[in-house]
A and B are shown apart, each in its own frame.
Chain A
Amino acid sequence: MTNPIPNPILSQFLAELLSGRLKLVDLTQTLTPEFPIIQLPPEFGQPWPFRIEEISRYDERGPAWYWNNFSMSEHTGTHFDAPIHWVSGKDLPDNAVDSLPIEHCIAAACVIDVSQEAAANPDFLLTIEHVKAWEDKHGSIPERSWVLLRTDWSKRTTPKEYLNMAADGAHSPGPDAEVVPWLIRERKVHGFGTESIGTDAGQAHHLNPPYPCHYYMHGNSRYGLQCLTNLDQLPAQGAVIFAAPLKIRNGSGSPLRVLALTPAQ
């Protein structure tokens, strides 16, 4: 066996992490049976919520070990959307969670804080103007960056507040139909991430096209992250996201642990 030569970048990375100069932020919601799932009209197929059954807990079913079975959909809890999730991305190459390029699991992130706007208006839609104003302040969005929409939606802890359903459906913020293709074309973003149940707004079925974030992002081999949390702990620019979905054959997405690396303040 050859003695590996230490890589100075990786060594420095670990040293920075262990010294606390770099910190890890967990952007993942805990998987619980109570965590809400997207609500579709009941005549459509429905995703399974997270469910868990104990196999054994140091008892007659297994005296020295504790473990569980769990079930959920590919789109339950904090989860990743692959291009194959949407019809617009169905024929693209490497469009499923098992085939997407593994290096795509690491990318920079820009965090656009619209928490005040979302608090004032749950139907808040992000526009090109909002993004340009953000860029004036924080610099332009680099290529191959996640755009993460900070709405503080993750602080809505009950399913009722989080889904925010009314007689005309869910009310939660998201991007409008112009900003998504603009981000792809003009900024070559990696994907779009939100704190709410989907990357699109609650009322996005009324936009043109319906669900523009899904339609354009996945139709252009871009990704989605939703049900994120702790975005308020990230800088506007400078964080690196590690988001690797489970390797499900032909999977359309998956629950995952999303970690952000960020310089300590």
Chain B
Amino acid sequence: MTEPLAKPKKKNPVQRTRLATLPPGPRSRAALGLTRAAAEGVFELQVCADCNAVQYPPREVCGSCLSERLDWKPVDNHGELIATTTLRHSNDLYFRERLPWRVGTVKMNAGPSVVAHVHEDCSEPGEGDVRVRLALKLDRSGQAVLHALPEKDTPNMNDSPQLRESTCDPEFRRVLVTDGKSAVGMGVAKAMLEAGASTVFLCDSSTWKTVPAFDALVASDERIQAVELDVTDTDSVDRLAASIGGKVDILVNTAAHMRDGGIVGRKDINLARDAMEVNVLGLMRLAQAFGPGMSFRAADGTNNAVAWVNVLSIHAFAALPERGAWSASIAAALSASQTLRAELRGAGVRVMNVFPGPIDEEWEQLTPPPKLAPSAVAKAIVKGLQEGLEDVYVGDIAEELRARLRENRKAVERELGDSVGN
């Protein structure tokens, strides 16, 4: 059984901080289908539209009938572990530092036999239950790998060092929440504490304003440290990074600016600029201030820097013309986050983007239900980190819009535009 994770000791300040090494990253374009599935936390493989054969590894033509009609589809992720081996030597720098490493072969119910990282709680073939479930997860290079997990959850299974290489669990980690006075920010702080975070740096961008819920939250748990941060102020961001940048293992950017109004329909560039200042330039300021330190600490022990979370919106993909300037800022934020992801991926720090539908908060007062409780967004963030995702869609509206976008982007554009066009 997996040893529960021990609270990390204080760092020895005269010991060199080890730099991150990464597992092999290159993949074929077809194999990036696995990466897409792992990023979203689904289990999909190619299935031949002609002969129904499930394919692994990903390929250009069907291994059985040579058809080119291979569709990515959810498939049964269960199978039997038929062989394992434990690596005790590797010439690869990444694995060398993490030996011993258990791998094995799983015969999937869906057909293929696959090589996977094998969880320590899976019984050896011949010594117990050989049934396993497979999970597609991102490794520290940001590429998909297969993990063979016990068929049923085992105690502390997420604490297994091999599995932790694919996840960003908040347990014993220090989390920075960039707007602690927002409903989502407070929700994230609570959810992180419940998930075992050792510290939550809860940012206050308006110290002049008394928010009783914020004060109560800060007083409720000694793991919360209130800190000042205004993401529109470069000096404020730099000051905070200079003071605690070396202790941020997970950064959750909840700073958000949302106002109603179209682009022709609300002739006020100030509002658009305010949205850009917070949603886009704020993200960039945070990235420039905290990115280098987090990259440097990506292999810094049990509580290494692992993840950067941007709370965006499903409207990053499709503008909501009633909030035209805001939509543009969220789309720009998504674009900026993709660059940030590319830049942090080389260091082994994951960028997770969260795409909620409408949230039940002040500026969404007139949005008809269903609306997401801020706590639901927070829970989705924690779950996404625990599973090691990159893209998290939260709520029915987000999922529905996403499905409709895949089906017909133009239809979504027209329908979302109807509210202002008539």
**B233 adjacent to chain A (CB < 8 Å):** yes
Q: Whole-angstrom distance between the alpha carbons of A145 and B55 in the complex?
A: 88
Known: A45-B268, A45-B270. A159 touches B233 (CB 8 A): no
Kindly list chain A residues whose C-beta atoms are within 8 Å of the C-beta of B105: none
Kindly list chain B residues whose C-beta atoms are within 8 Å of the C-beta of A263: none
Contact with A along B268-301 (1 / 0, CB 8 A): 1011001000000000000000000000000000
How many chain B residues sit at the interface, stated as a range, is 10 to 19
Q: Whole-angstrom distance between the alpha carbons of A160 and B291 in the complex?
A: 31
Would B207 and A158 count as touching, CB distance under 8 A?
A: yes
Measured CB to CB, the closest approach of chain B to A50, in angstroms, equals 9
Contact with B along A22-62 (1 / 0, CB 8 A): 00000000000110100100000110110111000000000
**A162 adjacent to chain B (CB < 8 Å):** yes
Contact of B207 among A33, A51, A160, A167 (CB under 8 A): A160
Q: Whole-angstrom distance between the alpha carbons of A205 and B234 in the complex?
A: 34
Kindly list chain B residues whose C-beta atoms are within 8 Å of the C-beta of A45: 268, 270-271
**B230 adjacent to chain A (CB < 8 Å):** yes
**B303 adjacent to chain A (CB < 8 Å):** no
Chain A residues numbered 136-170 whose CB sits less than 8 Å from any CB in chain B? 158-160, 162-163, 165-167
Kindly list chain B residues whose C-beta atoms are within 8 Å of the C-beta of A53: 234
Would B207 and A159 count as touching, CB distance under 8 A?
A: yes
Would B234 and A39 count as touching, CB distance under 8 A?
A: no
Would B208 and A165 count as touching, CB distance under 8 A?
A: yes
**B232 adjacent to chain A (CB < 8 Å):** yes
Known: A36-B208, A159-B207. A52 touches B234 (CB 8 A): yes
Would A52 and B274 count as touching, CB distance under 8 A?
A: no
Kindly list chain B residues whose C-beta atoms are within 8 Å of the C-beta of A33: 230, 233, 235-236
Measured CB to CB, the closest approach of chain B to A174, in angstroms, equals 18
Would B207 and A46 count as touching, CB distance under 8 A?
A: no
Residue of B nearest to A45 (CB): B270
Residue of B nearest to A37 (CB): B208
**B209 adjacent to chain A (CB < 8 Å):** yes
Kindly list chain B residues whose C-beta atoms are within 8 Å of the C-beta of A36: 208
Kindly list chain B residues whose C-beta atoms are within 8 Å of the C-beta of A158: 207-208
Kindly list chain A residues whose C-beta atoms are within 8 Å of the C-beta of B12: none
Kindly list chain A residues whose C-beta atoms are within 8 Å of the C-beta of B234: 51-53
Kindly list chain A residues whose C-beta atoms are within 8 Å of the C-beta of B230: 33
**B210 adjacent to chain A (CB < 8 Å):** yes
Known: A51-B232, A52-B234, A53-B234. A39 touches B208 (CB 8 A): yes
Contact of B209 among A34, A51, A165 (CB under 8 A): A165
Q: Whole-angstrom distance between the alpha carbons of A48 and B281 in the complex?
A: 15
Kindly list chain A residues whose C-beta atoms are within 8 Å of the C-beta of B270: 45-46, 48
In the A-B complex, the 9 residue pairs with the smallest Cβ-Cβ separation, listed nearest first, are A159-B208, A33-B233, A163-B208, A160-B208, A160-B207, A33-B235, A159-B207, A165-B208, A53-B234
